Amino acid sequence: MALRALWRFIHRFQLIRWAILLVLTLILVMSAYFTYEAKTVDMADIKSSLQTKTEIYDHKDNGVGSLYSQKGTYVSLEHISKNVQNAVISTEDRSFWTNPGFDIKGILRSVVSLIINRGSIAGGGSTLTQQLVKNTLLSQKQTFLRKGQEIFMAVQMNRVYTKSEILAMYLNNAYFGNGVWGVEDASELYFGKHASELSVGEGATLAAMLRNPSYYNPIDHMDNAISRRNLVLTLEVEAGHLTSAQADAAKQTTLTLNNNYNEDSTDKYPYYFDAVIEEAESKGFSENDLLNKGYKIYTSLDTNYQDALDQTWANDNNFQNDASDGTKVQASSVAIDPQTGGVRAIEGGRGTHVFLGYNYATQLHRSPGSTLKPLMVYTSALENGYHYDSELSDKKQSFGKNNYSPSNWNGVYQNTVPMYTALANSLNVPAVWLLNKIGVQKGVSSLKRFGITLEKKDQNLAAALGGVSTGVSPLTMARAYAAFANDGKMPQTHSIRKIVDATGTTVYQADTQSKQVMASSVAKEMTSMMMDTYNNGTGASAKPYGYTVAGKTGSTETPKEWNVNGDKDQWAVGYTPDVVVATWTGFAYTTKTHYLQTGDGGNVDSIFKSEMTNLLPETAQTQFNVTSASAKVAAITASSAGTSSGSSSGSVWSDIQDGIQDGVNTVKDKAQEWYNDVQGLFN
């Protein structure tokens, strides 16, 4: 009774007809949508994009590699053996030469797959043309919507290109395992010959890999490759491309491997090339265009600098030992030209490089530790009336309403200490005392000039020691310290100088202007103090033998409740007039078992010393035009001792001269302070 009632209801309101109409309308709408997409896609650009690569040039305009996506060495169909053409067609698309871009049987198989897999297509049923569309225009996700797009675009591709052009594009775009795209490079990798020279068995072997390159390639799985090759040969017989005798003969041949493939130099500078893409994307270029439009990208890369850093990265002894579970300690480094801001070299991490993966040199956000002191505290102090030898309080004490009580890392305290000594030895109490005297906001403003903006919650005395949630990267720190090496002018860091498109038109030019962030005299006095960091301060063990380097080291401690002796992060930033190098090391994720342990292999000092030892001989080796603060004090002390026995009149005259000079310095410092205050109103 219930079924009859239901049927009468359906019949009365003609629901079946309405359902059919609805389905047909849906098909019409979807067809119109897919047709529009197929007509508007830049189909004519596919062939040219597969044939072109974006070329990368170094700072001297020498070619150093290419950027490309899923491309091999492009060869025309005439230079691809019929043996591989027939094998691929027999295996992947027997109706290739006659179908309109899709195959009805394949579509039916996809529909069945759609039903079985509840809306998700498991794969299969695609023609060569559809596979080419998928690889060049669409995502790899298998859905009903994408399958519809694939079919309609395949039809459009069939109208734009000849079958020979489509087959050539497919074979030049296909992936054959072991990081190789395209039949020409695959032929060189596996058999040491050109694609035009492939035998019947070799052609079948390459065709066999298309189903699963990692499982059927003969380098990693010879037995699987031979088994699949023999199946392909049988399919060629069924398709009429081989006789049974020819197939049997090919099955008896031995697969002889011979690698004659010359890898592109893209892999030689992987993190630098990643940074180039990252920077270009920030300027409005899409990743797809960068990999496929045939640009010429002129960079700031210095291959000598990069090779020098690579030497350090190749020696595991420079780094802390692996954690007990095998996790590698991470590290990153960047070298820049302080005059131009050009990024000369990048080390973006340790371990296996992942294309466009995480770059610790440019994308890191970690606490800078005491490397923040020169930027936030000491530069601001010099601009507010203090001098390199000003006496700072170094007593154990508390500050502010919250009774903030910093501790010196070495547990040693003096009543007072000169500023240059406090900086070189990275003493915490004097730095906090000084920031408290000049005012936190002046320190925050100073830091902002160097390109580091603190969040409101971090604008306190603890920031003097790098205790901030605002993380920084080596690139950010290198740029900030470049101002000290460049007479107070901070450059715009850039890895790209210009980009030229395929027509020869310059479509991007880097902004290389520098910004004056402090007076030249302040930069020189800061350099004078920071030379002692590596002469006799916290960076003494990181100093490269025979060279003078200025800069600052820093670290962040593990939580006290862990009760362990180690750091979360370690930093070393150093510079000469020619180059600035910023280096960081630490674990990707700091835990109780993943932290920098004291005495467990190398640390930031060993990394930095090795880098600078290798790199500085490649620079112009320009000398600083200032003397270290400790050397100045020693000279003054010696001079005072030598003149102490002189006439009292000479001493009086000297005192008068010193008094006049001190007065002049005070006026200059006060004027600079007023200028900074006024300037701060407009920041």
3-state DSSP assignment of residue 219: coil
Q: Which amino acid is at 641?
A: A
Helices 144-160/128-137 angle, 10° precision: 110
Residue 616, CB half-sphere, CA atoms under 13 Å: how many? 22
Catalytic residue among 49, 90, 92, 628: 92
Q: Residue 231, Cβ neighbours under 10 Å: how many?
A: 15
The helix or strand, by DSSP H or E, that contains position 570, with its residue range, turns out to be strand 566-575
Residue type, 303: T
Q: Is 516 helix (H, G, I), strand (E, B) or coil?
A: strand
Q: How many CB atoms lie within 10 A of CB 126?
A: 25
The Cα–Cα gap between 85 and 77 comes to 9
Q: Which amino acid makes up residue 364? A: L
Q: Render 225-284 in DSSP notation, one character per residue.
A: HHHHHHHHHHHHHHHTSS-HHHHHHHHHS-----------GGGGSHHHHHHHHHHHHHTT
Residue 373 has which token pair? 């002191």
Question: In this structure, are residues 306 and 63 in contact, taking their beta carbons and an 8 Å threshold?
Answer: no
* Contact partners, residue 570, CB within 8 Å, separation at least 6: 369, 553, 554, 555, 584, 585, 586, 596, 603, 604
In sign, the C-alpha dihedral spanning 238, 241, 246, 247 is: negative
Q: How many CB atoms lie within 10 A of CB 453?
A: 10
Which pairs with CB-CB distance under 8 Å and at least 24 residues apart come from 237-240?
238/90, 239/86, 239/89, 239/90, 239/94
H, E, C per residue of 316-342: HHHCECCCCCCCCCEEEEEEECCCCCE
Determine which one of 69, 126, 370, 495 is catalytic. Answer: 370
The answer to whether 206 touches 198, Cβ cutoff 8 Å, is yes
**What is the C-alpha to C-alpha distance for residues 590 and 407, in angstroms, rounded to an integer?**
23
Count Cβ atoms within 10 A of the Cβ of residue 62 and give its class: 0-12 exposed, 13-18 middle, 19 or more buried: exposed
Q: Can you read off the two tokens belonging to residue 434? A: 């000084």
Task: Sort strands 296-299 and 54-57 into parallel, antiparallel or unpaired.
Answer: parallel
The CB density around residue 5, as the number of other CB atoms within 10 Å, is 9
Give CA–CA dist 379/387, Å, rounded.
Answer: 10
d(CA 567, CA 407): 16
Phi, psi of 571 (to 5 degrees): -130, 150
In the annotation, is 393 catalytic? no
Bridge partner residues of 412 (DSSP): none
CA pair distance 346, 577, nearest whole angstrom: 19
Active site residue 370: yes
H or E stretch covering 392: strand 391-393
Q: In whole angstroms, how large is the CA radius of gyration of the chain?
A: 34
| Interatomic CA distance for residues 55 and 266, integer angstroms | 10
- The conformation of residue 376, written as its DSSP 8-state character, comes to I
Catalytic residues: 92, 370
